[in-house]
Structure 1
Amino acid sequence: MNASTELLVDAFDRIREEVEATVTGLTPEEIGARVGPRANPIGWLVWHLTRVQDDHVAELTGRAQVWTKDRWAERFALPFPPEATGFGHSSEDVAALGTPDADLLVGYHQAVHERTVSYLNRVKVGDLAEVVDDRWNPPVTLGVRLVSVVAEDLQHVGQAAYVRGLLRADDS
């Protein structure tokens, strides 16, 4: 592993740690709570950030998503097509996630994290400059795509942690 991929692994490790710290110990009601009529609950935020990571890493590796390959889609039993990641979800779609169990959310995230780290362990520093998506101007490189996933995940895990803080304001 090189210094660049070590930094990426560290970033994804921090995301995993924050997902676990945010979700562990919550009740299903807290996981599904919406602090405003159209606010995203913790469960949806963690599911979405994990789906995005799973989707993007699977595309980069050319392998099936953990979501379908390891039957997480069946365990969650959501009313969405298996390829859904949460992008473009309406408030009603967000509500359809319901109140998933903390262990289910953390387990899926852990499985995706393991796939991500396994992939990063094979990435060479020169690979990060490889164009992986030429639909954009400028074209997106592997490094940019991975940093985009980190940014998306950090944003959403931070939102989820904030909601936890609102729900458990009396905890010290």
Structure 2
Amino acid sequence: MNVRARIWLAASAVLLTAGCAAEATPVALPSVAPRPVEVAAASSGGACRLLDFEVIAEHTGARFDVAAAVERGNTHTCVLRAETALLPELTLTVTETSIDKSGFTQDVLPRGATKVSKLGEIAYRQKLPKKGKVGPGAEVGWLATEGRLATLRWTCPLGTDPAEAEKMTGKLVNLAKAVDTRQL
């Protein structure tokens, strides 16, 4: 018998007997469901690198666990939500700019907004009205010292009392003071 024939016969015998083996022992699964691993907001990149879920919870009282970042030109944006709900939503936008305090006052400062001290070079806060299918909101905007324009915007669920959005503006000011836009 030639070598090829012997190899073919040996291979056939192995394949035929492999199906006759005893059933495989089932793999034991853990009795407790695996716990989800919390991923940091910074892992999404972009402006999300400036945010931390725990710091946000300390300042706002809300827990977020989903972060998404996008960059377009010199603007970096991060949107945070809870996995189980679309709202509330927190958005951080940071744009590199050459605008100065005068330009900020003329072109950026919304009419009716309240000026904020001790945040960047110049800053404001404002309550936003409900719009469409979302409730009222809160916004804090500031001109950071390193030539960056930053905005934190909070969108509440529909049906939220406007007074809650007003309270959120103060919480966002404190959160904004914890955001270091130089890290971008």
Same fold (TM over 0.5): no
Which structure's residues are more often helix, by fraction?
A: 1
Larger Rg: 2
Which structure's residues are more often strand, by fraction?
A: 2
Q: Which has the higher contact order (CA 8 A, sep 6+)?
A: 1
Q: How does the TM-score come out when normalised to structure 1?
A: 0.21
